[in-house]
Amino acid sequence: MPAIEVEHIAKSFGKQCAVSDVSFEVNPGEIFGLLGPNGAGKTTSIRIILDIFKPDAGRVAVLGGPMDETKKDRIGYLPEERGLYQDQRLDRVLVYLATLKGLTTSEAQKRIGAWLERFDLAEHSKKKIKELSKGMQQKAQLISTLVHQPQLVIIDEPFSALDPVNTQMVKDLLREERDRGTVVVMCTHQMHQVEELCDRLVLIHQGRAMLYGTLNDIRRSYAGHAVNVRALADLPAALPGVANITRHNGDTRLDLLPGATPQAVLQDLVARGLPLEMFEIAMPTLDEIFIQVVKGQEDAA
């Protein structure tokens, strides 16, 4: 049973259409990427899933059915551009938010203590939120999202304001949550983070789902007819079945002619006795795929 089922949701605000047709499913035990540029409709989709907005059309099921009050304690949500109560002490704010998620005060204090230790925030627990750095505040918000051990975590732009060390720590944390069985939905416009973390994804652009599936399937479907090669010797200026040879940072991209296969090109290179360090199908990055999708839609328009 999927953790989230979204079927053809649509939402408009006055004349402005925020989401026109988005469908996807999120499976148990996966990190799912909800991608798209700013203004694509990601946050509106999340708010519809979380029952903050009611969709104009479509259907949403969360944790096996429509969203209701009892499910709120099983969900952790970290909105984008967040902040906390600036004039209040870190420990009090975290305990308050944790108790709203159903924990008793003593249990909340115990768990928050452990999280603060883990995030190196224990010595700052009595400080006011406004006295903490942006990175510390971000970590505090992550604690409030995870402290009640939710079954479903929805995080909007989880890496903003984090330095590389903390970014890595959060990535490890999200993987750890997934391994624990938590469903993680990561909403971001940073494609490289998704490539690194997500098992599956949906890409939203102008309120529509443009791509949906596993990362590998999507990349493969957008892979051009080309291979990347790294050889320890210079490649010949021309190769049979190769239309174009481009060199970049020691690697060489071979665009193949129609009808040519990567296997034939590999056999030819091996037959020439060229020492190869790498030979791979040229897979596009998510950034490249995204640009391709957007351009394709603009051309179609």
Partner 1 sequence: MRDIWLVLKHEYMRHVARKGFIFALLSVPLILVVSIRAGFLSVAASMDPKPAAYVDLAGVIQVIPPAAAPSLDSENPFSNVELLPYATEAEARAALDAKEIQAYYVIEADYLETGAVRLVAVDRPNEGLSSQLADILQYNLLSRFPPEVQKRVMNGPVVEVLAMDGSQQMSGANIWGIMLPLGIGLLFFFGISYSSGYLMSALIEEKENRTVEILLTSISPNHLMAGKVAGNLLAGLTPLLVWGGSAGIGLIILMTSLPESARPDVDPNLIWISLLAFIPAFLMIAALMAAVGSSAASESEANQYSGLFTLPLVVPLWFMMLLIDKPNSPLSVGLSLFPFTAPIALTMRASFTIVPFWQIALSIGLLWLTALACMWFAGRAFRLGMLNYGKRLKLKEVFRRSKPTPKLEGGHE
Q: Given the complex with partner 1, which of 23 and 88 has the nearer CB atom?
A: 88
Name which of 112 and 254 has its Cβ closer to partner 1: 112
CA angle 210, 187, 157 (to 5 degrees): 140
- Cα separation, 48 vs 153, whole angstroms: 15
Q: Contact with partner 1 (CB under 8 A): which of 22, 31, 78, 170? A: 78
Looking at the Cβ atoms of 144 and 193, the one nearer to partner 1 is: 144
Q: How far apart are CA 229 and CA 255, in angstroms?
A: 11
Nearer to partner 1, 86 or 246 (CB): 86
Q: Which of 1, 13, 233, 285 binds partner 1 (CB under 8 A)?
A: 13
Question: Minimum distance from CB of 72 to partner 1 (Å)?
Answer: 6
Closest approach, Cβ 180 to partner 1, in A, equals 21
Which of 227, 225, 228 has the alpha carbon at shortest distance from 257? 225
Chain-centroid distance of CA 119 in Å reads 22
Sign of CA dihedral 188, 193, 195, 197: negative
Length of the chain: 301
For the record, the structure tokens of 281 come out as: 């199908």
Containing H/E element for 183?
Answer: strand 183-188
**97: Cα separation from own chain's centroid:** 25
Dihedral (CA of 136, 140, 141, 145) sign: positive
Nearer to partner 1 by Cβ, of 33 and 284: the residue is 33
The residue type of 133 is S
Which residue's CB is nearer to partner 1, number 154 or number 265?
Answer: 154
- The residue range among 92-100, 233-241, 248-256, 288-296 that interacts with partner 1, by the rule CB under 8 A, is 92-100
Nearest to partner 1 of 75, 227 (CB atom): 75
Check residue 69 for interaction with partner 1 (CB under 8 A).
yes
**Which x/- pattern, by CB under 8 A, does the window 17-46 give for partner 1?**
-x-------------------xxxxxxx--
Judged by CB under 8 A, does residue 205 bind partner 1?
no
Among 5, 7, 25, 51, binds partner 1 (CB under 8 A): 51
Residue 271 Cβ, how far from partner 1 at the closest point, in Å? Answer: 55
Tokens of 134: 């942006």
Chosen residue from 10, 22, 50, 254 binding partner 1 by CB under 8 A: 50
With residue 229 as reference, give the H or E element that holds it.
Answer: strand 226-231
Which tokens is 228 given? 């990347």
* Total of residues contacting partner 1 (CB under 8 A): 39
DSSP 226: E
Is residue 81 at the binding interface for partner 1, with CB under 8 A as the rule? yes
Answer whether 10's CB lies under 8 Å from 57's CB: yes
Instruction: Check residue 66 for interaction with partner 1 (CB under 8 A).
Output: no
Binding-site ranges for partner 1 (CB under 8 A)? 11, 13, 16, 18, 38-44, 47, 50-54, 69, 72-73, 75, 77-88, 96-97, 99-101, 144
